[in-house]
């Protein structure tokens, strides 16, 4: 059922004569809809440019009607094309009034933005009957990052969507629909903003109480697959300017996207990004930030902007015959993470369902889903933690692979033949010859005191727990923290037995002090 509402949220019509309707529901973007309706005297009111109208699909999905187009192919064939945006469009109508300062989990930051600008604003004309609901808050606590932010002005929706994108959250705005009677003349008497992290339905999920959802060519439920690695937007060095004017303005030079091996950040390997952070002030709520605290805000702002300027991976696939295996909103929902096994590419990925398109033509409903994989390469800390979790949770591990030789497909089972640890970290040997080695928060004593452009560096070696057969293909360092300082590390060369790690800091660390580092290496043992 397609219901039309006016700007008081009262029902004015039920659209019965339509040929086709479609809405595209997105996890953290503003969705869209299209309706092709028959033109007659009963629905001419939709062409009134002085009034606002809204739409409800099946008393559930809300949309803002933004354009109505009359099309005429002949004297007898006349239709309306009604187009608009789904409910999240309403958040675009708000700005962030004043300054918001926040430290905590990202989902709570979104709640705070909503409260200050839609629920408890000092201007009553801005307030809406709206509640914020957390979908599986325990999972939100696990997956959401901790942020320390200061934002002044700007678009409310832009800020929310940026934070949601960083942590792959699901954002939905749902109308509270009521039955019309004398006590409730309105069809909608309030709203609920839903913040969720999406359920983990991957093949390798830790919560086995949740059923998995798998797409692959062998299951005949995906086709037309595309995989892209894109470096076009990649930037690795940020110049960010904070408060102040002219020569007094505070400038910072910050390396970003350090989870990707770039080599030396100089010459044409240096890819710079300019960020204006004039809105970040050192005085917050009558408190003066220290230089170190202000610099930390600058680093966080630089990292936020760099997320849109990173190496990216994208995987897309067309889902076929989904209804034979999985049902939308029963077996999976938008925002959930599923496994996609591509035998042709020899890869398996965990992708998020970010788009769901529902098409109705006559009495037939068609549901199409779209995966989004990438936008950022998986963080190395997540990779290392994933390996650690597998060690802790699996005494035996079997992985299905498929090798193709001509037209013959053979099954190969990959299993762990040996694993262990020593003072240098952990290692795991796989039957296929793969060797993984890692260390998490290992303590060493080091200095970071050698001048390196505007920074300071220190070099130390990570000796692998066991030796690789040949030079490993991947070595990554995700942490090199000096005491409680804001230092970081990169790997600049390695051999079969060790990796040289370069630690950086914005200030000189002259004395030998405790440093923690986390790193991962992958190569061959046979």
pLDDT one-digit tens code per residue, 392-441: 443 333 332 333 333 333 333 456 788 899 999 999 988 788 899 999 88
Q: Binning pLDDT at 50, 70 and 90, where does residue 170 land?
A: very high
H helix or E strand, kind and range, residue 425: strand 425-430
Residue 485 reports pLDDT greater than 70: no
Confidence at residue 486, expressed as pLDDT on a 0 to 100 scale: 60
Whole-number average pLDDT of the chain: 81
The pair of three-digit structure tokens given for residue 422, joined into one six-digit string: 């020593």
Confidence at residue 193, expressed as pLDDT on a 0 to 100 scale: 96
The pair of three-digit structure tokens given for residue 82, joined into one six-digit string: 């009604």
Confidence at residue 383, expressed as pLDDT on a 0 to 100 scale: 36
Confidence at residue 405, expressed as pLDDT on a 0 to 100 scale: 30
- 447 within 8 A of 510, measured Cβ to Cβ: yes
**Mean pLDDT of the region 276-280:** 89
More confident residue, 93 or 511: 93
Q: Binning pLDDT at 50, 70 and 90, where does residue 129 land?
A: very high
Alpha helices in 115-230 (DSSP H): 137-143, 156-166
Phi, psi angle pair for 485, to nearest 5°: -75, 170
Confidence at residue 209, expressed as pLDDT on a 0 to 100 scale: 86
105-109, 229-233, 275-279, 313-317: which is most confident: 105-109
From the list 29, 241, 44, 171, the residue with the least C-alpha distance to 4 is: 44
Confidence at residue 512, expressed as pLDDT on a 0 to 100 scale: 76
Confidence at residue 441, expressed as pLDDT on a 0 to 100 scale: 84
- 168 within 8 A of 197, measured Cβ to Cβ: yes
Q: Binning pLDDT at 50, 70 and 90, where does residue 216 land?
A: confident
Confidence at residue 392, expressed as pLDDT on a 0 to 100 scale: 41
**Mean pLDDT of the region 377-405:** 36
The pair of three-digit structure tokens given for residue 391, joined into one six-digit string: 């060690």
For 293-336, the pLDDT digits (tens) are 899 889 888 888 887 777 777 777 767 655 567 888 888 889 99
Q: Name the class of domain 94-196.
A: alpha beta
Phi, psi angle pair for 112, to nearest 5°: -65, -40
Mean pLDDT is lowest, of 18-22, 309-313, 379-383, for 379-383
Q: At what angle do helices 106-114 and 156-166 cross, to 10 degrees?
A: 170
Confidence at residue 483, expressed as pLDDT on a 0 to 100 scale: 74
More confident residue, 378 or 447: 447
């Amino acid at each position: 059922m397609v219901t039309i509402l006016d700007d008081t949220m009262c029902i004015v019509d039920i659209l019965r004569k339509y040929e086709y309707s479609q809405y595209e529901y997105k996890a953290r973007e503003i969705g869209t809809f299209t309706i092709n309706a028959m033109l007659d005297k009963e629905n001419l009111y939709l062409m009134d440019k002085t009034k606002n109208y809204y739409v409800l699909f099946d008393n559930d999905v809300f949309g803002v009607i933004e354009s109505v187009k009359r099309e005429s192919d002949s004297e007898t064939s006349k239709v309306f094309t009604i187009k608009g945006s789904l409910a999240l469009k309403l958040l675009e109508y708000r700005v962030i009034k004043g300054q918001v300062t926040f430290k905590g989990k990202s989902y709570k930051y979104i709640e705070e933005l909503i409260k200050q600008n839609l629920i408890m604003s000092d201007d009553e004309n801005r307030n809406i009957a709206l509640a914020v609901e957390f979908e599986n808050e325990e999972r939100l606590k696990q997956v959401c990052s901790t942020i320390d932010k200061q934002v002044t002005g700007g678009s409310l929706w832009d800020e929310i969507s940026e934070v949601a994108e960083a942590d792959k959250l699901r954002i939905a705005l749902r109308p509270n629909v009521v039955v019309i009677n004398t006590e409730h003349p309105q069809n909608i008497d309030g709203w609920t903003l839903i913040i969720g992290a999406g359920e983990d339905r991957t093949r390798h999920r830790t919560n086995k109480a949740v059923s998995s959802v798998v797409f692959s060519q062998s299951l005949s439920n995906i086709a037309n697959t595309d995989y892209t690695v894109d470096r076009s937007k990649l930037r690795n060095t940020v110049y960010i300017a904070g408060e102040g004017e002219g020569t007094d303005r505070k400038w910072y030079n910050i390396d970003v996207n350090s989870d990707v091996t770039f080599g030396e950040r100089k010459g044409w390997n240096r890819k710079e990004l300019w960020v204006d952070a004039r809105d970040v002030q050192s005085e917050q709520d009558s408190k003066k930030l220290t230089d170190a605290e202000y610099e930390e805000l600058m680093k966080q702002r630089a990292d936020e902007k760099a997320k849109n300027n990173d190496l990216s991976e994208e995987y897309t696939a067309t889902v076929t015959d989904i209804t034979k295996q999985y049902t939308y909103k029963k077996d999976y929902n938008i925002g959930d993470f599923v496994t996609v096994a591509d035998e042709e590419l020899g890869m398996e990925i965990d992708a998020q369902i970010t788009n769901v398109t529902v098409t109705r033509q006559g009495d037939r409903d068609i549901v199409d889903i779209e995966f989004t994989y990438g936008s950022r390469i998986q963080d190395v800390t997540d990779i290392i933690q994933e390996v650690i979790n597998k060690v802790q949770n699996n005494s035996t591990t079997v992985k299905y692979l498929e090798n193709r030789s001509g037209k013959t497909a053979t099954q190969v089972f990959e299993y762990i033949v040996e694993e262990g640890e020593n003072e240098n970290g952990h290692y795991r040997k796989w039957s296929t010859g793969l060797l993984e080695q890692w260390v998490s928060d290992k303590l060493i004593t080091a200095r970071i005191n050698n001048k390196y452009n505007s920074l300071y560096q220190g070099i130390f070696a990570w000796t692998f727990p066991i030796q690789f057969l040949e030079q490993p293909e991947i070595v990554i360092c995700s942490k090199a923290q000096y005491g409680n300082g804001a230092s970081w590390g990169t790997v600049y060369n390695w051999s079969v037995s060790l990796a040289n790690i370069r630690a950086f800091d914005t200030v000189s660390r002259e004395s030998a002090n405790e440093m923690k580092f986390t790193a991962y290496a992958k190569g061959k043992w046979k």
